[in-house]
Structure 1
Amino acid sequence: MLSQIVSALMVMVVGVFAAAAYFYLTNRILDLALPDTGDVAKASRNLRTRAMIRPWLFLGPAVLLLTIYLVYPVIATLILSFYGRDAQDFVGFSNYLWAVNDAGFRQSIFNNILWLAVVPAACTFFGLIIAVMTDRLAWGNVAKSLVFMPMAISFVGASVIWKFIYDYRGDGQIQIGILNAIVQYLGGKPEVWLAIPFWNNFFLMVILIWIQTGFAMVILSAALRGIPEETIEAAVIDGASGWQIFWKIMVPQIWGTIATVWTTITILVLKVFDIVLTMTNGQWNSEVLANLMFGWMFQGGGDSGRSAAIAVVLMLAVTPIMIWNIRRANEEMKGR
């Protein structure tokens, strides 16, 4: 363990020094290659050229890494989606036609839509309610810390925790799962909750809502504190109730932040994978697109063509939301 910590620290130190050396040396070389001395016209031209090139010295490494780890994989995946199982035979749109006609793919699409309809709205709603309530409590910061704490847990770790909550033991055995223990105590019959088709999706969604509500709460709490106090005071003087102040004063003023939180969680939901894999492995009609893609690529002999086609569909589903989010952010920046 100690050796791993030392190695990680060494990598961080070397990385920082390497980055500093890169920026120093490249800027030094640029200054030497295009000096600002001598003829006035030439020096002025060199200064303009240096000003054009210098930003790319900083952006260069990031652009290179993005090209290698983002642009190239996207292009390669798109090309791969037109080939067969072993990526040797060109099959055209056959993989996409298979997806349209495959029951498993349609079920995954339905499950993803279900997640999209519930999780972003629930996280944003609960985050907003908790943000408003905790801002009025003396121990509000403690409450916020407790709500935000699940964000520090990985999706797999959170799934393991909730697996104990949903755990089921056979008839006549002591139920160690909290949910079944409560049901049994109240006189009900324990259930294999994760094996109930359709409803098991909601049991899985609870995990992501539990994790992401803290994120929504922190962002929305900061937005609420940015509302001018004069606005609230004027509403109180005019006789507005707490409910009216919340819905007609607070929410409209932070609507942009609410939309941003919602779209951020929406993108995360479209890529959800770890929770489903850990809890059900996609069984009992709980599979989502990311798990279906993983299954076709790494299970059952592997089919790179079909998995790539699913990955392209997933990318196309995420892209419009990302574009809308970026445009909205740009409009807000222009407004300022």
Structure 2
Amino acid sequence: MTTADLLGKILQVVMALVIFAAIIGLLIFFIDKAPKKGRDYWQLAGFLLPALILVAIGLVYPAIRTSLLAFQDKSGEWTFDNFVWMFTQPAAIRTLINTLVWVLLVPTFATAVGLAYAVFIDRSRGERYYKAILFMPMAISFVGAGIIWRFVYEYKGVGDQIGILNAIVVAFGGDPVQWMQTDPINTILLIVVMIWIQTGFAMVLLSASIKGIPTEQIEAAQLDGTNAWQRFTNVTLPGIRPTIVVVLTTISIATLKVFDIVRTMTAGNFNTSVVANEMYTQAFRASEIGRGSALALILLIFVLPIIVYNVNTLRKQREIR
């Protein structure tokens, strides 16, 4: 990139910021000049309308457009072939199965490990440092995490192994393994990366929820002669159940959308592809827009039950209160 191109890019950014500031300024000016009668409604409309327009352009329209493209072929003819392909071709079926495996394992193990860690370090000396250690992977992007773990799983046919996992195998007298090409263990190893990232998130939320349990309840349970496990199952778990639901839901949705880890480490090869990765591959690599849109629609259908469950849970909690 030449200096002129760089200056041009900078100028474009500056102009975009100036235009944005001008629009916001005009919006505030006209709202301030609105009649006193009903000014609150004008202010509400003035600040909500730009957001609603952006949501409509960036979310609603693409969702409708994608749903329509899912039922079209390359020539624009209406067809169900995209969904027939998805549920009949072995590679596509394997992609759906892999996604379900991810959604079953990642939220379960990340939440379980995060909860166990939060319970064990609760009110211990150095608790903040223990939390920081586990939470650090959350500060790493999925692409960065994928690159780090590629080195962990690295394979060399001869010589010293630079991959930690293969170095351990060789140290115990085994032969190095091409982990990322070995099906189905490669999918499990990719899932480990996601669990490693999400465990810190689960730990932080669950630890905060545990600290919110009234001390009187725990002391009363101790006076009743309960052991640590009984206090955990009868006092701690019921007290943090809403937080567990939130953590499981958040991690499940993030797992359904996982793309970076798979793309960085295997590019979906060797039977490791998931819906988000296959959606990209079909739409932008194979130029099969219809198939990519159908996969996007399936991804939305996967997410909807989680959203509905959370809405019902929140509604019940409000009714109880």
Superposition TM-score, scaled by structure 1 size: 0.87
Partner of 1:56: 45
Structure 2 counterpart SS, 1:188: coil
Q: Please state if 1:152 is matched with 2:154.
A: no
CA contact (8 A) 1:267 1:322 kept: no
2:313 partner letter: R
Q: What runs of 5+ residues in structure 2 fail to find an aligned partner?
A: 1-5
Residue 283 of structure 1 and its aligned partner are, at CA, apart by 1.1
Describe the SS at the equivalent of 2:299. Answer: helix
Q: 2:32 aligns with which of 24, 28, 31?
A: 28
Q: 2:61 aligns to what?
A: 72
Judging changes above 3 Å, is the alpha-carbon distance between structure 1 residues 13 and 327 closer, same or farther for their aligned structure 2 residues? farther
Find the counterpart in structure 2 of residue 221 from structure 1: 207
- Tell me the C-alpha RMSD between the 2 structures: 2.4
Query: 1:123, 1:8 → 2: CA distance?
Result: 43
Distance 1:10 1:235, change over 3 A: farther
Cα distance in structure 1, aligned partners of 2:31 and 2:228 = 58
- 1:75-95 deviation per Cα after TM superposition (whole angstroms, max 9, x unaligned): 00011112112xx33132121
In the TM superposition, residue 138 of structure 1 has moved relative to its aligned partner by 0.7
Contact 2:31 2:42 in 1 (8 A): no
Q: Which moved more, 1:247-256 or 1:320-329?
A: 320-329
**Counterpart in the other structure of 2:3:** none
The residue number in structure 1 matching 2:122 is: 135
Match of 2:289 among 301, 304, 314: 304
Query: What is the number of equivalent residue pairs in this alignment?
Result: 314
Instruction: With the length of structure 2 as denominator, give the TM-score of the two structures.
Output: 0.91
Letter in 2 for 1:185: A
CA distance 1:136–1:93, change in 2 (3 Å): same
Rounded Cα–Cα distance in structure 2 between residues aligned with 1:292 and 1:53: 45
Aligned partner letter, 2:289: S
Kindly provide the amino acid, as one letter, of the partner of residue 322 in structure 1: I
8 Å contact 1:134–1:141 — kept in the other structure? no
Q: Name 1:288's counterpart in structure 2.
A: 274
Match of 2:96 in 1: 109
The answer on whether the counterparts of 2:146 and 2:264 sit within 8 Å (CA) in structure 1 is yes
Residue of structure 2 equivalent to 1:176: 162
Q: Helix, strand or coil: the match of 1:218? A: helix
Change over 3 Å in CA distance of 1:152–1:15 after alignment to 2 = farther
Distance in 1, Cα, partners of 2:136 & 2:165: 22
In the TM superposition, what is the alpha-carbon distance from 1:28 to its structure 2 partner? Answer: 1.2
**2-structure distance, mates of 1:233, 1:128:** 21
Residue 23 of structure 1 and its aligned partner are, at CA, apart by: 5.2
Partner of 1:39: none
SS in 1 for 2:248: helix
1:82 matches 2:71: yes
Letter in 2 for 1:276: V
Q: Deviations over 1:37-88 (max 9, x none)?
A: xxxxxxxxx34xx444432222212111111110000000011112112xx3
Q: Which runs of 5+ in 1 are unaligned?
A: 36-45
Q: Name the CA distance, whole Å, in 2 between partners of 1:14 and 1:187.
A: 65
Q: For residues 6-57 of structure 1, what are the alpha-carbon distances to aligned partners after superposition, in whole Å with 9 as ceiling and x for unaligned?
A: 99997998699557625522421323xxx4xxxxxxxxxx34xx44443222
Question: Shift of the alpha carbon at 1:175?
Answer: 0.4
1:116: how far off?
Answer: 1.1
In the TM superposition, residue 329 of structure 1 has moved relative to its aligned partner by 3.1
Q: Deviations over 1:207-264 (max 9, x none)?
A: 0101010110111111111100000000011111111111111011110110110011
Question: CA, structure 1 residues 251+191, in 2 after alignment: closer, same or farther (shift >3 Å)?
Answer: same
Q: Which residue in 2 is equivalent to 1:166?
A: 153
